[in-house]
Amino acid sequence: MLDSASQRIVVIISADLAHTHQASGPYGYSNASEPFDLACGHWATTLDKSTLTVTAAGYADRALSCGFTGFVMLHGMLERAAQGTAEWLSTLLANYHPSYYGMMVASFVRQTFQVYRD
């Protein structure tokens, strides 16, 4: 489907990371916040499914992230869109928590390749 599209397709997932980085924040502090945000950043860098669905998922309930399900959905979309003839160039641009919640910016650019069969 993507190969036949005449226009570029952009998907934006707006999703906060952990909401529990500061005790003074509205959700208090959780020691799950930092490892959750780091796992999401590692996933965004590597697209390693288990980093998202096992490691980050293990912290998600205590980290109180409203964005986790969006990342899982995005991962499924990226897997489906690759379909054996493409891979994704993933770049983590930012992963910070300047206030009580974490924020991440990443890009995923589809790189197609030719499949040769004998």
| pTM as predicted | 0.87
Amino acid at 105: V
Do the domain assignments include residue 92? yes
> Taking the mean position of all CA atoms in its chain, how far away is CA 56?
10
Confidence (pLDDT) at 4: 66
Do the domain assignments include residue 70? yes
Residues 6+ apart with CB under 8 A from 22: 29, 99, 100
Do the domain assignments include residue 74? yes
Count up the domains in the chain and report the number. Answer: 1
- Using alpha carbons, select from 106, 100, 111, 108 the residue that is nearest to residue 40: 106
- Round to whole Å and give the CA distance between 64 and 17: 8
Do the domain assignments include residue 16? no
Q: 60 lies in which domain range?
A: 33-111
Per-residue tens of pLDDT for the chain, all 118 residues: 556 667 877 888 888 999 999 999 999 999 999 999 999 999 999 999 999 999 999 999 999 999 899 999 999 999 888 776 678 999 999 999 989 999 999 999 988 766 666 6
Do the domain assignments include residue 85? yes
